[in-house]
Chain A
Amino acid sequence: MRGGNRFLAAAVLVLIAALALTHTVQNEYFFFAGYVVLQFVVLATAWNILGGYAGYVNFGSGAFFAVGAYTAVALIKALDAPLIVQVIAAFLLSGLLGFGVGALTLRLRGIFFSIATVAVAVICETAVINWRFVGGSRGLAILQPAAPLWFESYTRFLFVVMALIAIFSVALARYIQISWIGRGLRAIRDDEDAAECAGVPTLKLKLAAATLSGALMGAAGAPFPLYMSFIEPTSVFSLNYAVSALAMPIIGGTSSWVGPVIGAVLLASVQQIVTVTISSELNVLVVGVLLVAFVVAAPQGILGLAERLIRSRGVARGALGARDNGIGDRS
């Protein structure tokens, strides 16, 4: 499998690049911003596993992200657990949540799943606000440990951790896409009844996708408390995560694992720049407007636009060639 090898090589290269950056770039802000961009790569990729491949829209990405973050907080407070344990626990717990929501609503039409995810977001937020142990509505300050060996600061270390999670997510999404699971999910998206009749185990596949999607979102949230060194419900449950996690794949293109990555890197970078230079409110507005514009005008996203461009060029060249031949024949 040449494509697989090439993907592996690219993944290793990205990881090496991330490590190299932590030793060459001096500006600390670069890692603050880079961490957020990578975090959105994970969220967008995770959203796309269920939303893009199977067509089930998750509006509650913020909830899965927050469950991951608060799992980490609880583990830090109760056991002083290391980061790797936090990430794995967040992965498992958010996966369980994804499975639960899926089991409740994935038998119904797609919109009910979407509404249920909004419900889960509000219920989780209410629960966290009322949960004193993790800070309740007032929030909780968390001490960043000393930077591990090899790293100048803890933020740089977290940047590399998030790069690892991002690579893992993209690899998983890519595997799902090219395996029989992805074929089944696409069949569900195109016509669920037909897929069921053709023997596709629709409910099992949807549940698997919901579980993995939720788990990855949780993993993205786990390092967040240490990154911010402070946590409170409003910012973790912010609608911005839900909108971005959905807008990025749709803008990038939902049909392939590349789409969410393109969308996330592009949009999150723009967001970082707009937040710093203009205002943070404007940046959410930009995401909303772009989302609506793409959904209406370019449903295949940037990937679709690029494909169309390449194809139309190819067709144009072909047509030109044919005309040349025709002229040649006549003379």
Chain B
Amino acid sequence: MTPELLIEAVVAGILLGSFYAAVSIGLSIAFGLLDVPHIAHPAFLVLGAYGAYLLGQHGLDPLLAGAALTPLFFLGGVGVYRFYHAAFERHGSDKGLRGLAFFFGVAFIVEVGLIRVFGVDQRMVEAPYIGKSLALGSMRLPLRMLVPFAVALALTIALSLYLSRTFAGRAIKAVAQDQTALALMGADPVRVKQWAFGIATATCAVAGALLIILGPVEPGLGRLYIGRTFCVAVLAGLGSLPGTLAAGLILGIAESVVLTSFGASWAPAVAFGILLLVLAVRPAGLFGR
């Protein structure tokens, strides 16, 4: 592999990595902070992508469509969490197995539902910035990667600031640390958690739009992103948002380098390989407590 090729791969990896952080940030909140075994997160992501596709059919820009869908996804997330809480968390017993099976079933239903409505064909969106690219010296940076990069970076930074600087954000961090203490302070942990889960789901609308800007989408894509999102969330150290960005970049660069040196068919295994390695060597992740 020549140095130029390597540099190109790393640059592409950085662009991709920021996007991976954006798709994983909802999981970092839901799984890392709230301890919900949210296997259905990637399925919601694909749902967001199809939402952007559907609105795009009416001429709406995918990014605007993603933004327009966030309130809907927020409410959906609140609903899912309330249901999950009522069905599993309140009783507590055997919640691990049942919660996992529940979200797995939900993910499966979303996937099959999408297949029934849209078919298994790949779908894509049109926007003025898709197809163009920016020349940087000898390197060409396609805008369909640069735009997700910028939006993903903004989203990740904004959410990190929200969690560390605002009152509501700190409440979410507090509920992750000690739920009982929060209850003793007179706050309702369930309401804080449903707010946080709503935000986590709302990120799927925006990240889903980025997903479909980056490339064509098909209903089964969610399964691939189970590996990527959990890889990033675990590598980050559960619940750490700056860690999520770092972990996303690591995964992006690793995948991009493997892609250029071994071929595209090996790329899907990279995320899972890193995930297994992290679980075996350092399950607390990079920035874990």
Binding site for B on A (CB under 8 A): 51, 55, 57, 59, 104-105, 108-112, 114-116, 118-120, 122-123, 126-127, 129-130, 137, 189, 239, 243, 246-247, 250, 254, 281, 284-285, 287-289, 291-292, 295-296, 299
Contact = CB atoms under 8 A, between A and B. Distances in A.
Per CB-CB distance, the 4 closest pairs between chain A and chain B, nearest first, are: A119-B272, A292-B105, A291-B105, A126-B269
A246 B104 contact: yes
19 contacts: A55-B97, A57-B100, A59-B39, A105-B279, A105-B280, A111-B37, A112-B279, A114-B37, A115-B279, A120-B272, A122-B269, A126-B266, A127-B269, A189-B94, A243-B105, A247-B105, A285-B112, A292-B102, A292-B109
A57 B103 CA distance: 12
Contacts, number: 118
Interface stretch (B7-15, B61-69, B223-231): B223-231
B142 interface: no
Given A57-B97, A119-B227, A120-B276, 14 more contacts: A57-B101, A57-B104, A111-B31, A119-B273, A119-B275, A122-B268, A126-B269, A189-B97, A243-B108, A281-B112, A281-B115, A287-B108, A288-B105, A292-B105
B84 to A, nearest CB: 9
A110 B35 CA distance: 12
A68 B275 CA distance: 24
B101 A246 contact: yes
Question: Most chain-A Cβ atoms within 10 A of its Cβ — which of B87, B108, B230, B266?
Answer: B108
A112 B282 CA distance: 12
Contacts of A110: 96-97, 100
A291 B115 CA distance: 19
A55 B93 CA distance: 11
A220 B90 CA distance: 38
B239 to A, nearest CB: 14
B266 A292 contact: no
A108 B109 contact: no
Contacts of B94: 55, 189, 299
A122 B224 contact: yes
Nearest to B102: A295
Interface in B95-131: 96-98, 100-102, 104-106, 108-109, 111-113, 115-116
Contact of B116 (A116, A120, A285, A292): A285
Contacts of A285: 109, 112-113, 116
A115 B230 contact: yes
Main secondary structure, interface of A, reads helix
B242 interface: no
Contacts of A59: 39, 104
A194 to B, nearest CB: 14
B138 interface: no
A96 B61 CA distance: 50
Interface residues of B, number: 39
Nearest to B272: A119
B98 A299 contact: yes
Contacts of A109: 96
Contacts of B108: 239, 243, 284, 287-288, 291
Interface of B: 31, 37, 39, 87, 94, 96-98, 100-102, 104-106, 108-109, 111-113, 115-116, 220, 223-224, 226-227, 230, 234, 265-266, 268-269, 272-273, 275-276, 279-280, 283
Nearest to A289: B109
A295 B101 contact: yes
A250 B115 contact: no
A189 to B, nearest CB: 8
B275 A116 contact: yes
Nearest to B83: A296
A63 to B, nearest CB: 11
Nearest to B229: A115
Contacts of A291: 101, 104-105, 108
Contacts of A129: 265
A132 to B, nearest CB: 12
Contacts of A287: 108
Contact of B272 (A123, A250, A295): A123
A55 B101 contact: no
Nearest to A296: B87
A243 B283 CA distance: 27
A286 B40 CA distance: 18
B130 to A, nearest CB: 28
Contacts of A246: 101, 104
Contacts of A292: 102, 105-106, 109
Nearest to B115: A281
A250 B109 contact: no
B116 A281 contact: yes
Question: Most chain-A Cβ atoms within 10 A of its Cβ — which of B97, B113, B230, B269?
Answer: B97
Nearest to B86: A296
A115 B266 contact: no
Contacts of B279: 104-105, 108, 112, 115-116
Question: Most chain-B Cβ atoms within 10 A of its Cβ — which of A115, A130, A284?
Answer: A115
Contact of B96 (A55, A284, A289, A296): A55
A104 to B, nearest CB: 5
Contact of A51 (B39, B97, B102, B109): B97
